[in-house]
Structure 1
């Protein structure tokens, strides 16, 4: 079984090169075709701007609490190692940083929604980019190998810093927005190209679907708010829907088992 899997990986090296080349071309096309996404230079207007108990934009603020709860639990379980089935030490980095980014998103997004303006928008965007980068590196470690996952993690974290600096210097959020497309586009595409190492791999597709649903809710912020007679806005629903993504991955990590082992991973000692 090990030989067969590694043989498939060797055959897929050419496809891997084409995949990265295609991703680069897509990035270049995106930067050339799409218009510049600038900071607004004025307070952003969300559909629900209500104030309860002296808290501005109350629902948009408090709907970030699930991020904090799920992020803390996931971060502790990633490092603790008894409940999450993580077979390699390198995978711990990706998952711990993913849930750490979710915790940062809870604080950053709440801080931003208390007073939405240009000076605070990166506090909302930066932890989200870190979480998406760590999630994609965990996917690479599972599907391709630990070395590829760690290389992807460090490379994407550098890209996060570069994108943040680019956004602040050139007043262009396009690079930052691209990180939100990673779980929605790249992960489903690579799911069919690389065999899973663990069981319960369908959770990756479910999470990508929930991510797309959250983006639609955000895009239909005012329409959803009007449709339910001003009970909750689409942006608040996006927060709650997005918080379900780390929950899905926590369920996956708890129940999954090793389906096939790779030769490169066999050289690594499993976590105690």
Structure 2
């Protein structure tokens, strides 16, 4: 749904092409996570885990690229999108070849640092920019819950595991970002954005 709404360009407030591709790929990645995670959890093994991990890496690579397109420059964001998605695939190839997912796990943690840094260093182009930090907070919380999976499971008297809470918190991230896209307004336009808008017309 988010993928379609992004490409339609009516429901979400997305100004330029560089942002559109980043958000479209983000929602495509989130959709892939839904199906890939279900496929993996039906029969968890090393062969299926890539279908759970790769879409997630693509989604958050696209998300960071969208932030760069918004805060820094649309061309930089688009270049970053291509580079990070390529790194996502290369990381998965490495993981499958050497049975080592540490690079993939590290890649997934990058947004928790990079997004707040970019948010504080560069002024927002849109309103409702705090949603970036809220989404990052829920994503970071999800990772902590995953790390404390067994402890949470025992502390809750085996009612719910940290892994289950991880999925719930992760699901809140695209919801927050979708709300942001629906309700935000443009604060200002950079000179480069104005030129791009003229070319798009």
Structure 1 and Structure 2 fold alike (TM over 0.5): yes
Aligned counterpart, 2:59: 131
Question: Shift of residue 269 of structure 1?
Answer: 2.4
Aligned counterpart, 1:268: 196
Contact (CA 8 Å) 1:132, 1:180: kept in 2 or not?
yes
Q: Following the alignment from structure 2 to structure 1, what is the Cα–Cα distance between the partners of residues 63 and 30?
A: 11
Contact (CA 8 Å) 1:132, 1:179: kept in 2 or not?
no
> Which structure is richer in relative contact order (CA contacts within 8 A, separation 6 or more)?
1
1:1-58 C-alpha deviation (Å, 9 max, x unpaired): xxxxxxxxxxxxxxxxxxxxxxxxxxxxxxxxxxxxxxxxxxxxxxxxxxxxxxxxxx
Question: Shift of residue 114 of structure 1?
Answer: 1.1
Aligned partner (choices 88, 92, 109) of residue 181 of structure 1: 109
Aligned partner (choices 57, 68, 77) of residue 149 of structure 1: 77
Aligned length: 200
Aligned counterpart, 2:160: 232
More helix by share: 2
Aligned partner (choices 120, 126, 141) of residue 213 of structure 1: 141
Q: Following the alignment from structure 2 to structure 1, what is the Cα–Cα distance between the partners of residues 195 and 172?
A: 35
Q: Larger C-alpha radius of gyration, 1 or 2?
A: 1
Question: Shift of residue 182 of structure 1?
Answer: 2.2
Contact (CA 8 Å) 1:203, 1:252: kept in 2 or not?
yes
Contact (CA 8 Å) 2:148, 2:162: kept in 1 or not?
yes
Moved over 3 A (4+): none
Provide structure 1 residue ranges, at least 5 long, that are not aligned to the other structure: 1-72
Return the TM-score normalized by structure 2: 0.94
Q: Following the alignment from structure 2 to structure 1, what is the Cα–Cα distance between the partners of residues 193 and 103?
A: 33
1:197 equivalent in alignment to 2:125: yes
